[in-house]
Structure formats: C-alpha cells, structure tokens
Chains A and B, each alone.
Chain A
Amino acid sequence: MSLFAFFAALFPLNTLGHYIHWHIIQISVANLVVIILMIIVFVAALLLPFPGHRRRNNQ
C-alpha cells in the first residue's frame, strides 16, 4: 500500500456545497468561512501583543 494512501484526505469536501443567499449575494459557506477567518486574523494581528513587548516596556 502506498505511503501516501495514509495522506488521503481525512475529510474530503466533495459533497455538494452549502450556499448562503442574501439579497443579490450568493456565497458558499466555504468562501464565507475563509473571508471571516481573514478578518479575524487581521484583527487578531492588530490586537495581540507582540513578543518582547514586556521586555521593551521594562527597559
């Protein structure tokens, strides 16, 4: 058995997608998750303290 058979997808996303309809907008749940994640990551990047800040503040 190929080693890479172990790397076959655990949860392949091959079932038909789910979509959200809002006025004229139609967006897949997958794309919406990606966009929301991007916003969360952006906000987190702004707000989370950067390592070494305590050291700098104590100097």
Chain B
Amino acid sequence: MSYNEIERQWTTRLRRRLVKVLPPEKALPDTQPAYVASWIYVFGVTTMCALAVVILSGCVLALRGPQWWHGSPEGHFFNSLHLWSVEIFFFAMVVHLWGKYFMAAWRGGRSLTWVTGAVTFLVSIVAAFTGYLSQTNFDSQWISTQAKDGINATGGGAYFNVLNFGQMLMWHIVLLPIAAVLLTGIHVLLVRKKGVVPPFEDKVKAPA
C-alpha cells in the first residue's frame, strides 16, 4: 500500500482532523489558567456527575421494568436515588448557568459553548418531563392529562402523545438520554478546545 493511499484513507483523514481540532493535551489537560480559582467553577463537573448518577440509577430501574419500584423497597430506594440525583442535576446546572452568564462565558468565540449548554438545559427539561410521565402513578396521570393541552395547542400533540405511556417511556430512556449525553459531550469538548473564558480586561487601580 503506497504512502499516498494511506494518507487518503477516511480513517487517516479523520484521525488527523480530530487530533488537529483537539490534541490530547487539550482534551485531557494537566494545567489550567491561574485565574480559574473560584468555587463557581465546580458546578459544571457537578452537573455532569449528577447526570452520571441519574443514568446509573435509571439503568438499575430499567433492569426490573417500570413497575418494579411500586412494590419493592429496593426499587423504591433506586427511584429515590433517581429523583434526588435529578434535583441535584438541575440545581447544579442552574447555578452553573448563573455563573457562566455573569462571566459572559461566550466571549472569545465561545458562543457555541453557550448555545449547546442552553439547548442541553432544554433537552434536560423535556427528559425530566417524560420521566414524570413514566412513573406510572397518580403524578403521571395528572401531569399527562394537563400537559397534553399545552402540547396539543402547538400541533405537536398529534405526534408526541403524552398520554401514550409506551412512547413517553421510550423517549425518556432512549432518545432523550442519547441527546443529553451527546450535547453534554459536545459542550465539554468545546470547553476543552477553546479553553475556559479569560477574565474581562479591567483597568486595575494602583493602590492608594
């Protein structure tokens, strides 16, 4: 196989492009700028870790099916883990959003990082909503029968039927987690690629 032939391969070209866009030392850095020195910076990783606990507890619930937790103390415990990890997830994500807003973290070509973060927030809301619909209890009955009016009014209810438990469950455990994880991944890779936004260039007063 000639050298030119190897260079033209899709694999070679993809690998070179990936390494060029995000070299390993940027993907997994061992230093960070000195200005990253505030507790506000931990809320991004906290959100991601909460998402991991959400997914892990959800996987355990999936092992025994959507009705398991009603009649089993073990199942109810894992349902509780799932609920509280979701609460921590949203808690951390909103604090992270507030922090990033007041840092104007979109500066310096980082708009897409903000955009992917905002879209992930919205996808998470839909994921949580379908989760409430998947509980198979009174809460699911009430939320579905009320939410249908809002969604029906947009025309979307004809295709996204919140009264259809099977459909909502599959959105909740397949489509929306995939979307959330993909978007989170892109968001994090953008932060690694662009680096953490530097401080505003303020005029600094000389001490009196």
Contacts and interface: CB of A to CB of B under 8 A. Distances in A.
Contact of A46 (B38, B74, B80, B94): B38
B73 A8 contact: yes
Given A34-B87, A45-B39, A7 B73 contact: yes
B38 A50 contact: yes
A56 B95 contact: no
Contacts of B34: 56
A38 B38 contact: no
Interface string A1-22: 0111101110000000000000
Contacts, number: 46
A50 B43 CA distance: 14
Contact of A41 (B37, B72, B80, B95): B95
B98 interface: yes
B91 A4 contact: no
Contacts of A34: 87, 91
Contacts of A52: 37
A34 B84 CA distance: 12
Interface residues of A, number: 20
Given A38-B91, A38-B95, A46 B77 contact: no
Nearest to B76: A8
A38 B95 CA distance: 7
Interface string B67-84: 000001110110010000
A38 B77 contact: no
B177 interface: no
A50 B77 contact: no
Contacts of B91: 34, 37-38, 41
29 contacts: A2-B73, A3-B74, A4-B72, A4-B73, A4-B74, A4-B76, A5-B73, A7-B77, A8-B73, A8-B76, A34-B91, A37-B91, A38-B91, A38-B95, A41-B91, A41-B95, A42-B40, A42-B95, A42-B99, A45-B42, A45-B43, A45-B95, A46-B38, A46-B39, A46-B40, A50-B39, A53-B37, A56-B34, A56-B37
Interface of B: 34, 37-40, 42-43, 72-74, 76-77, 80, 87, 91, 94-95, 98-99
Name the 6 nearest CB pairs between A and B, nearest first: A45-B39, A4-B74, A45-B40, A4-B73, A7-B77, A50-B37
Interface of A: 2-5, 7-9, 34, 37-38, 41-42, 44-46, 48, 50, 52-53, 56
